[in-house]
Amino acid sequence: MSQTTSSPYDEPMPHSAPLDRTATISDVARLAGVSVPTVSRVLTGAARVSEDRRRRVDKAIAALGYRPSAAAQVLASGRSTTIAILAANTSRYGYAEAIRGVEESARAAGFAVIIVVVESERDDEVRAAADAVLRQSVAGVVVLKFDPPGVAALKALQSAIPAVALSGVPEAGVPQAVLDESEAAAALTEHLLSLGHSTVHHVRIPPSGKEDGRTTGWRLALQRHGIPTPPIEDVSWDVSTAHEIGVRLASDPAVTAIFCGNDETAMGVIRGIHDTGLNVPDDISVVGFDDHPLAPMFIPALTTARQDFAELGRHGTAQLLALLKGESPLALETVEPPLVFRESTALPSSRRR
């Protein structure tokens, strides 16, 4: 009665649901008047089948509306045509775009996609996510290593399965596709400096580790100019925290230029500044990061660095598929985000300082 152990399998199973029975390969074989392996051969194209039989099989398949069972195929062949996306989030801009890119190219290659999310870096969540991936007999996994949960999940996978990471910071070890953020962040910061601002404040989005490329680039640019780094402001993913920080920063006359971790944050910060009666860029310059679709529509339109997350996702999938085919070494492709200058930056105001 009483249970002294506590493996996850002591828990009740989820309510699984019965599958509607549909035509099987033997139904097709019977109708076509051939053996089951012959049907399999036309399915996989693994071996030659006579024109005549192939036609009969195709006809039977069409007649029965037959679709091979992916589960049975993976079991019998030991090969899978499904990949997993492991991510901490599915709906935020960069994440959603990266997922779109992965899904798109996976589908083009004939792979199905399962999505598993790991919400936090808590040990049980990370383990559950890794388990979910492993249980599904996927060929490989693309992990969005944008944040601590992503990093932890990647580690939990322990290369038990082919994996590639999508990331903003190059890093040795795992195959990955990276969008090199740090140079672009530095360039954005220097743009602000070159306008005449004596320093640049930074609003940091939740980082992937101790520091992400955006923050690193900002710090780097400041260092290059011998400017001490002002205290960092941290925002959550909730834009309203960016708004609060905007209000706070606006009250500090030393603040004339702000580098935000992403465009949504920049919009929140600008709105906060706006609400104190100050103007962007006349009083304070603000830059974002990502080139969000709404960045050019915002008033003022955002100066930012363009990140092509979907492309990152496509690269990652390509890497994974190459890895699966045994091709290597994989070129670690690094893309540098192009800067786009719009309306949210200007010379420092004489009204401040």
Interface with a copy of itself in residues 220-239 (CB under 8 A): 239
Q: Give the DSSP H or E segment for 243.
A: helix 239-250
Taking CA atoms, 256 is separated from 33, 194, 200, 268, in Å, by: 80, 13, 7, 16
Interface with a copy of itself in residues 91-120 (CB under 8 A): 91, 93, 96-97, 99-100, 103-104, 107, 109-117
List the x/- string, 128-147, binding to a copy of itself by CB under 8 A.
---xx-xxxx-xx-------
Q: From a copy of itself, DNA, none, which one binds at residue 49 (CB under 5 to 8 Å depending on kind)?
A: DNA
Q: From DNA, a copy of itself, none, which one binds at residue 17 (CB under 5 to 8 Å depending on kind)?
A: a copy of itself
Identity of the residue numbered 267: M
Rounded Cα distance between 233 and 241, Å, is: 10
Among 33, 79, 223, 254, binds a copy of itself (CB under 8 A): 79
* Minimal distance, residue 131 CB to DNA, in Å: 12
* Minimal distance, residue 72 CB to DNA, in Å: 3
Among 47, 254, 299, 331, binds a copy of itself (CB under 8 A): 299
User: Using the rule CB under 8 A, is 330 a contact of a copy of itself?
Assistant: no
Interface with DNA in residues 20-79 (CB under 7 A): 21, 24-26, 34-41, 43-44, 46-50, 52-54, 66-69, 72-73, 75-79
Q: Please check whether residue 202 is in contact with residue 259, taking contact to mean a CB–CB distance below 8 angstroms.
A: yes
Q: From DNA, a copy of itself, none, which one binds at residue 347 (CB under 5 to 8 Å depending on kind)?
A: none
List, in order, residues 6 or more apart from 198 with CB less than 8 Å away.
Answer: 227, 256, 348, 353
> Two tokens at 109?
């290659």
Q: Please check whether residue 320 is in contact with residue 140, taking contact to mean a CB–CB distance below 8 angstroms.
A: yes
Is the Cβ of residue 68 or residue 206 nearer to DNA in the bound state?
68
Which window, 157-165, 179-187, 197-205, 226-234, contacts a copy of itself (CB under 8 A)?
157-165
User: Using the rule CB under 8 A, is 17 a contact of a copy of itself?
Assistant: yes
Q: Which of 75, 77, 95 has its CA nearest to residue 86?
A: 95
Taking CA atoms, 121 is separated from 28, 96, 126, 172, in Å, by: 48, 20, 6, 21
* Minimal distance, residue 34 CB to DNA, in Å: 4
Q: From a copy of itself, DNA, none, which one binds at residue 52 (CB under 5 to 8 Å depending on kind)?
A: DNA
Rounded Cα distance between 65 and 117, Å, is: 34
Q: Which of 12, 14, 46, 40 has its CA nearest to residue 28?
A: 40
**If DSSP codes are grouped into helix, strand and coil, which group holds residue 83?**
strand
Among 26, 33, 37, 44, binds a copy of itself (CB under 8 A): 44
User: Using the rule CB under 7 A, is 349 a contact of DNA?
Assistant: no
User: For tokens 């992965």, what's the residue?
Assistant: 102
User: Using the rule CB under 8 A, is 277 a contact of a copy of itself?
Assistant: no
Q: Give the DSSP H or E segment for 124.
A: helix 123-135
Q: Please check whether residue 31 is in contact with residue 58, taking contact to mean a CB–CB distance below 8 angstroms.
A: no
Chain residues that interact with DNA, rule: CB under 7 A: 21, 24-26, 34-41, 43-44, 46-50, 52-54, 66-69, 72-73, 75-79
